[in-house]
Amino acid sequence: MKAAVFDYVRASDIDEVCRLLADAGEDERKIIAGGQTLVPLMAMRMARPDMLIDINDVAGLSGIEAKGDHVAIGGCTRQRVIERSDVISRCLPLLAKAAQYVGHIQTRNRGTIGGSIIHGDPSAELPMAALALGAMIILRSTSGETELPLDGFFEAAMVTNIDPDQILTEIRIPVWQGSRIGTGFHETASRQGDYAIVAAGVQVELAEDGTILRAAVSAGGVAPSPVKLPGVETALTGRSVHDIDTAFDALGDEIDPDTDVHATAEYRLRVAKRLLARAVTDAVAEASE
């Protein structure tokens, strides 16, 4: 199939983007940067925007900057840039690991972190990792800027809490301070580069005695959207890596997997527990080095 008819505007600055979104009226206007999700949806006519607003020429929407207690990432930053960034690997290693699992190099060269977050796919790796780490997002419109926690931004499958006149300009992810920090990320998919059937991401800090001082945990493919798992985080705290099995006993209370053509709900729950255990084991081993 081919996309339905639409207007196209290549915006020159952020004010023009906000103005075009605000003036939409009854029209549906969509922002396009990488187009790795939107364009296929348009080709299948599952999305039929009246106008595409291209933001690739808009200054200030791309880049990665360490700012002390957090890293600021422009919404238009390519996924491949995140994967290869020294700042990300040093300050946000969980995000760097997650980026390696996103599609293929060709899609990572075009896809953006902002597009991935706004799309809200339940299996998306970068939103999942950012969610675990307590990310904040900056939304802008003609009314100004709004800062929101990523936790709570995902409302349902492919549905996020953004107004039609807003654009995601920046993601701010806290940086953990400490010398004994480790991360782990695992997923299972039908083929390399496919959407994850189940994914799990973990970051831990170890106490001097080797027990887990704090943990950040999230999962994908086990609910209508990526989910942070505070119950698992609490259950892991104070445990050693040899005593983590029961930390996942209540996982079923925090996730809501569906049965679909790829896997049953029971399979997703079972695999989620195993992937989380592997991710925790990797994180503890890395933190112990």
pLDDT tier at 26, thresholds 50, 70, 90: very high
SS3 (DSSP) at 100: coil
Per DSSP bridges, beta strands 51-54 and 7-10 are parallel
Q: Is the pLDDT of residue 246 over 90?
A: no
Task: Centre a 10 Å sphere on the Cβ of residue 67 and count the other Cβ atoms it contains.
Answer: 10
CATH of domain 7-54: 3.30.43.10
C-alpha span between 211 and 79 (Å, rounded): 33
C-alpha span between 227 and 221 (Å, rounded): 9
CATH of domain 181-288: 3.30.390.50
- pLDDT tens, position by position, 75-85: 999 999 999 99
Quote the pLDDT of residue 76: 98
Q: Which residues contact 105 (CB under 8 A, 6 or more apart)?
A: 80
pTM as predicted? 0.95
CATH class of 64-174: alpha beta
How many helices (H) and strands (E) the chain has is answered by 10, 14
CA-wise closest residue to 202 among 192, 190, 212: 212
Domain(s) of CATH 3.30.43.10: residues in the chain: 7-54
pLDDT tier at 206, thresholds 50, 70, 90: very high
Residue 212 contacts residue 204 (beta carbons within 8 Å): yes
Percent of the chain at pLDDT exceeding 90: 92
pLDDT tier at 1, thresholds 50, 70, 90: confident
Q: Which two tokens stand for residue 67?
A: 């700012």
- pLDDT tens, position by position, 100-135: 999 999 999 999 999 999 999 999 999 999 999 999
Q: Is the pLDDT of residue 256 over 90?
A: no
Quote the pLDDT of residue 228: 97
Quote the pLDDT of residue 193: 86
Quote the pLDDT of residue 282: 98
Q: Which two tokens stand for residue 22?
A: 């605000």
Q: Which residues contact 242 (CB under 8 A, 6 or more apart)?
A: none
CA-wise closest residue to 272 among 235, 217, 224: 217
C-alpha span between 112 and 123 (Å, rounded): 16
Domain(s) of CATH 3.30.390.50: residues in the chain: 181-288
pLDDT tier at 252, thresholds 50, 70, 90: confident
Domain(s) of CATH 3.30.465.10: residues in the chain: 64-174
Mean pLDDT, rounded, of the chain: 96
